[in-house]
Each structure stands twice: as C-alpha cells, then as structure tokens.
Amino acid sequence: MFLSFALLFAAAACVLNIYILASFIRCRGKYPPFISSFGQVKRDVLKIAGEILAKKAEGARAADLGCGSGVLLAELAKDFPKTEFWGFEWDPVAYACARRKTGNYRNIKLCYGDFMKADVSDFDLILCYVGTGLEQELGNKLNREIKPGAVVVSEVFELAELKPVCRYESSLCGVPAVVYVYQKNV
C-alpha cells in the first residue's frame, strides 16, 4: 500500500515538474508557472479588493492579470454581481481551470493571451500575482496606462514605477508576505 502511494506521489511530482518546465519553455521564461492564490495572503487580497470595490460605484470594472484558476475572480464576482470582472491568463492549463471555475458567472470575462498586451486603461481595480521578473515591465505598463483613481493590488511582489499607498503584512504558509496596494493620483 505504501509503495503504491509513494509511486503515485512520485509520478504526480514528475508530471508537475514537466508541466512547469513546459510552461517555462512556452513563455520563454517571461511568466512564472501557474500557482493559485491560497492561504492567508489570498484571504487578505480578497478582503482588500472587497473593501475597494465596496467604495466604487456600480458598474466598476476589475481585472486579474494572470488570473490562474480564477479563484479570486469567482469569489469577488459572487460578492459584487454589479462589477464587471476580467481575467487574463496566458497558460492554457490555468485558463481551462479558470473557464471551469468562472463559467457560471455572467459578470466574468476571460481572455486567453498575454496580459502585457491587454489594454488596462479602463479598469478601476487591478489584481496581480506575477512572480519575479515582471515587476519592472508590469510596473511601467500600469504606471503608463491605468486611469487616475485606479487601484492596483499586487500579491507578494512589489511593482516598479508605482509607489505603494499601503502595505499589508500577511503570510504564505507561515512565511511572511506582503500585499501591496497602489493608487494612481486622481
């Protein structure tokens, strides 16, 4: 029994490593592999985003850049049915998971492709969990494109070119983490 479990676990680990390697090759190392938001940091991002959306007018627009499985979108869409949510994802596995997770929500639109090519100028709230390597490029893009008053919530990674208006101390599996909040001057 133990040997069967060990072999199954080893096979799953091999498949995961192959997926991560294939993702890295497919995007030429530009984007990190799909890792879903989880734990305390996920709860903190949802709380922060919920507080921001509660202050916005009906018809607000929110985007999740690199939405992964769509877990944040689904939870926010349920609580804010009058908000239009957009999820951008480049990874086909994560995109398929997001389609399945968000398929019942009429206020969620998913876009398969490179979020760095997306027009983000009309969003009131932007969520991102981008990993290392994109902080400079994404920070530059958001600094250029977001409208005055727009808020950006970055899970764990500090973005360049934007000055945080708030930092929330959080944790990821017991490891200290930070959620950064930015707002473009009105």
Look up the CATH number of the domain holding residue 164. 3.40.50.150
**Are 70 and 135 found together in one domain?**
yes
Cβ neighbours, 10 Å, residue 72: 24
Q: How confident is the model at residue 31 (pLDDT cuts 50, 70, 90)?
A: low
**Are 152 and 88 found together in one domain?**
yes
**Are 68 and 17 found together in one domain?**
no
Query: pTM of the full predicted structure?
Result: 0.85
Helix residue spans in the chain (DSSP H): 2-26, 39-55, 71-79, 92-102, 135-145
**Are 18 and 79 found together in one domain?**
no
**Are 7 and 62 found together in one domain?**
no
**Are 136 and 151 found together in one domain?**
yes
Tokens of 65: 């850049």
The arithmetic mean of pLDDT across residues 68-82, rounded, is 95
**Are 97 and 78 found together in one domain?**
yes
- Closest-CA residue to 61 (of 13, 6, 140, 126): 126
**Are 53 and 138 found together in one domain?**
yes
Q: How confident is the model at residue 131 (pLDDT cuts 50, 70, 90)?
A: confident
Residue 16: half-sphere exposure toward Cβ, Cα within 13 Å = 8
Q: Which of left, alpha, beta for 149 (phi over 0: left; psi -120 to 50: alpha)?
A: left
**Are 11 and 77 found together in one domain?**
no
Q: Does position 39 have pLDDT exceeding 70, yes or no?
A: yes
Residue recorded with tokens 């069967």: 4
**Are 147 and 170 found together in one domain?**
yes
Q: What is the pLDDT of residue 27?
A: 53
Can you give the residue range of the structural domain that contains 137? 32-183
